[in-house]
């Protein structure tokens, strides 16, 4: 029908839904709900061999005049082969693509911790430099400038991670937003990473253990469990009462780095550490600021570094490497059993026939031998 302001204002229906089409702008329609009398503008068009619809907004918030103007613009884009429902690759920003990537890819497919880290890198590094830039205008020089600033802070590993993250975001832009190319793919990694090999000596283990008195009881307990269980910091901090059954700690797949269920035998010293904690909300290490578990031990690490004064830099993850190394060198535990303790995926072809009970027994024996060695190291003169 020939739509007029008066005709649109008076449209009603006793049906569930009525759609009328504008004679002036073919492709522009108005939907009228019989139950709510709500009226919504939309367009119908064909692109890439498929018929599509797109809402333009409600009436009267959008008048007939403005609906026709917008419909002409979008239908003209469709006639030129570009889907008007998709953002113009010439104007979409890096921030918009990144947010869409987080929603469509990261959150549905990656672990919560990984998504939080990507969000942190985007907010701290990418958005201030490139967030409001049109993605199609980003050049190799822009990427190099971003990475050079990070390298200038001596954050070499972070620079590599930001390059990979930005590359993934712009790959999403090519796939979803019709960017012509991903400029990051022609930018080399800014730094060559060296695998960490730091292992604390027995004397350093003693120094760290004895320095735990400078920490809060909760932080000290967390570090002791890093030594006594050889598990990752994030896994220890997310320990819940529901995960512990007597002297066995079961790490659920959603908390394990490899996404697998992993059981950890708890030795008597480890059980004593847990018994010393007052769990809150079911968590052994509850966050002091929000619901849920703690996320890091950064302050504890700074205090330990200052208190111990070890010459060579070290991190809390080095404790896990120390336990796995010293468990073999000082306790004579075979590498296959150390791998089971750490939760690594077994590559042994006999793994499928190897008794679960035997594996758990050998894991416990290894951790008990290491626990006895830690006590010996700490008491040594």
Mean pLDDT of the chain: 91
Comparing C-alpha atoms, which of 81, 104, 109 is closest to residue 171?
104
What pLDDT was estimated at residue 346? 66
Averaged pLDDT for residues 170-196? 89
How many Cα atoms are found within 13 Å in the side-chain-facing hemisphere of 367?
29
Strand-pair partners of 33? 17
Averaged pLDDT for residues 351-367? 80
Query: Sign of torsion, CA 6 10 13 17?
Result: positive
Averaged pLDDT for residues 231-257? 94
How many Cα atoms are found within 13 Å in the side-chain-facing hemisphere of 115?
13
Which tokens hold the place of 269? Answer: 């010293």
What share of the chain in percent tops pLDDT 70?
96
Q: Is 275 helix (H, G, I), strand (E, B) or coil?
A: helix
What share of the chain in percent tops pLDDT 90?
72
Averaged pLDDT for residues 332-339? 93
Averaged pLDDT for residues 345-359? 63
What pLDDT was estimated at residue 81? 78
Tens of pLDDT, residues 200-230: 999 999 999 999 999 999 999 999 999 999 9
**Residue 74 pLDDT greater than 70, yes or no:** yes
Higher pLDDT, 192 or 22: 22
Q: Strand 248-251 and strand 39-47: pairing? A: unpaired
Tens of pLDDT, residues 110-154: 888 889 999 999 999 999 999 999 999 999 999 999 999 999 998
What pLDDT was estimated at residue 375? 95
What pLDDT was estimated at residue 178? 83
What pLDDT was estimated at residue 353? 47
Comparing C-alpha atoms, which of 244, 256, 265 is closest to residue 356?
265
Question: Please, which pLDDT band fits residue 45 given cuts at 50, 70 and 90?
Answer: very high
What pLDDT was estimated at residue 349? 45
228 to 6, 274, 312, 372, 379: CA distances (angstroms):
79, 12, 23, 10, 16
Longest Cα–Cα distance of the chain, Å, equals: 97
Burial class (CB in 10 A: 0-12, 13-18, 19+), 377: middle
Secondary structure E strands in 229-339? 244-245, 248-251, 262-265
Which tokens hold the place of 254? Answer: 């959603």
**Residue 19 pLDDT greater than 70, yes or no:** yes
What contacts 267, CB < 8 A, 6 or more positions away?
A: 228, 247, 364, 367, 368, 371
- Name which of 192-196, 336-340, 348-352 the model is least confident about: 348-352
Averaged pLDDT for residues 8-28? 91
How far apart, in whole angstroms, are the C-alpha atoms of residue 363 and residue 372? Answer: 14
What pLDDT was estimated at residue 352? 46
Pair 243, 249: CB distance under 8 Å: yes
Residue that is written with structure tokens 């080095």 in the block: 318
How far apart, in whole angstroms, are the C-alpha atoms of residue 106 and residue 284? Answer: 29
Tens of pLDDT, residues 288-315: 888 889 989 999 999 999 999 998 999 9
Residue that is written with structure tokens 């009228």 in the block: 32
Tens of pLDDT, residues 61-73: 999 999 999 999 9
Angle at 17 between CA 11 and CA 23, to 5 degrees: 55
């Amino acid at each position: 029908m020939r739509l007029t302001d008066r005709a649109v204002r008076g449209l009603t229906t006793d049906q569930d839904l009525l759609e009328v089409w504008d004679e002036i702008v073919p492709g522009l329609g108005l939907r009228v709900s019989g139950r709510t009398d709500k009226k919504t503008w939309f367009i119908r068009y064909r692109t890439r061999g498929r018929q599509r619809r797109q809402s333009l907004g409600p009436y009267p918030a959008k008048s007939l005049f403005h609906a026709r103007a917008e419909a002409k613009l979008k239908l003209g884009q469709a006639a030129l082969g570009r889907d008007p429902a998709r953002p113009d690759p010439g104007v979409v920003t890096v921030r918009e693509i990144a947010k869409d990537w987080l929603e469509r890819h990261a959150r549905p497919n990656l672990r919560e911790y990984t998504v939080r880290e990507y969000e942190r890198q985007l907010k701290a590094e990418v958005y201030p430099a490139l967030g409001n830039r049109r993605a199609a205008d980003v050049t190799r020089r822009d990427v190099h400038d971003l990475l050079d600033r990070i390298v200038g802070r001596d954050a070499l590993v972070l620079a590599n991670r930001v390059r990979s993250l930005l590359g993934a975001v712009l790959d999403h832009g090519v796939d979803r937003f019709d960017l012509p190319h991903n400029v990051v793919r022609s930018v080399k990694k800014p730094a060559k990473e060296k695998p960490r090999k730091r292992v604390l000596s027995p004397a350093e283990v003693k120094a760290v253990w004895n320095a735990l008195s400078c920490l809060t009881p909760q932080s000290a307990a967390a570090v002791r469990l890093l030594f006594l269980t050889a598990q990752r910091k994030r896994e220890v901090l997310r320990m819940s009462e529901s995960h512990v059954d007597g002297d066995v700690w079961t790490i659920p797949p959603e908390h394990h780095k490899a996404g697998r269920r992993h059981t950890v035998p708890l030795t008597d010293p480890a059980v004593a550490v847990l018994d010393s904690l007052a769990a809150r909300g079911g968590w052994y290490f509850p966050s002091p600021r929000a619901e849920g578990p703690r996320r890091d031990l950064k302050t504890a690490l700074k205090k330990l570094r200052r208190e111990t004064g070890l010459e060579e830099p070290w991190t809390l993850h080095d404790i896990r490497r120390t336990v796995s190394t010293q468990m073999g060198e000082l306790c004579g535990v075979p590498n296959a059993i150390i791998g089971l303790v750490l939760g690594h995926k077994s590559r042994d072809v006999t793994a499928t026939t190897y008794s679960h009970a035997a594996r758990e027994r050998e894991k416990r024996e290894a951790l008990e031998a290491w626990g006895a060695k830690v006590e010996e190291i700490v008491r040594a003169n």
